[in-house]
Amino acid sequence: MHTVKETAILLDMSEHTVRFYTDKGLVPNLKRDKNNNRQFDEESINWLTGIKYLKQSGMPLDKIKTYIDLCLEGDSTIPQRYAIILEQKEAALAQLEQARERAEYMIRKAEGYREIYEHRLSDIANPATWSTDTNTNTESDRLEQLQAARPSMRFSELDDSNCLIPSKTIL
C-alpha cells in the first residue's frame, strides 16, 4: 500500500491532483487506513495511471468519470469503452504530430542561431535588425534565407540534436 505522497511521486503527479481525483470518485474501491488516510494498492495506481493519460490526451474529467463507470459496469460496455479509447488515441496522435512540428521548428531555429553565432549567417532572427527595405521581414522569408544557406542539411546531420525526429530536409 502506498500513501498519497508515495503515489504522487510514483505517478509524477502532485499530491493535490491525487487527492482531487479520489475526491471526484475517479478511483474505485479506494482503501483507507484506520485514520481515514487514503491508501493506494496496485489497482488504485492502475486507475490513476489511466486517468493521467486520458487527461493528458485532452479528455475532460466528466468523460473520464463516464469511462470509469462503464468499466465498472463490465463486459457489456466494451463497445462504448472501445469507442472512447479510439477517440482519445486520435487525440493523442494529433498531440504527437503537433509536438513533432514544434520540435522541428525549434531544431530549425537552433540551427539558425548556431549559424548566426558562428558568423556564417547574418542575424536574421532578431526583429530589431530587420529593415523595412528588405524582403526578409517574415518568418518564412527568413527561414527561406536560412534554407538557401544550407540546402542539403538534414535534421539527422545536426550534431547537437538528440531528438528522435524523422530525418527530413529542413524546410
Whole-structure pTM value? 0.65
**Does the structural domain 4-73 have CATH classification 1.10.1660.10?**
yes
What pLDDT score does 142 carry?
61
Dihedral over alpha carbons 27, 29, 35, 37 (to 10 degrees): -20
What pLDDT score does 145 carry?
62
Split at pLDDT 50, 70, 90, the class of 134 is: low
Collapsed DSSP state (helix, strand, coil) of residue 154: strand
Domain with CATH 1.10.1660.10 in the chain: 4-73
pLDDT above 70 (res 6): yes
Split at pLDDT 50, 70, 90, the class of 121 is: confident
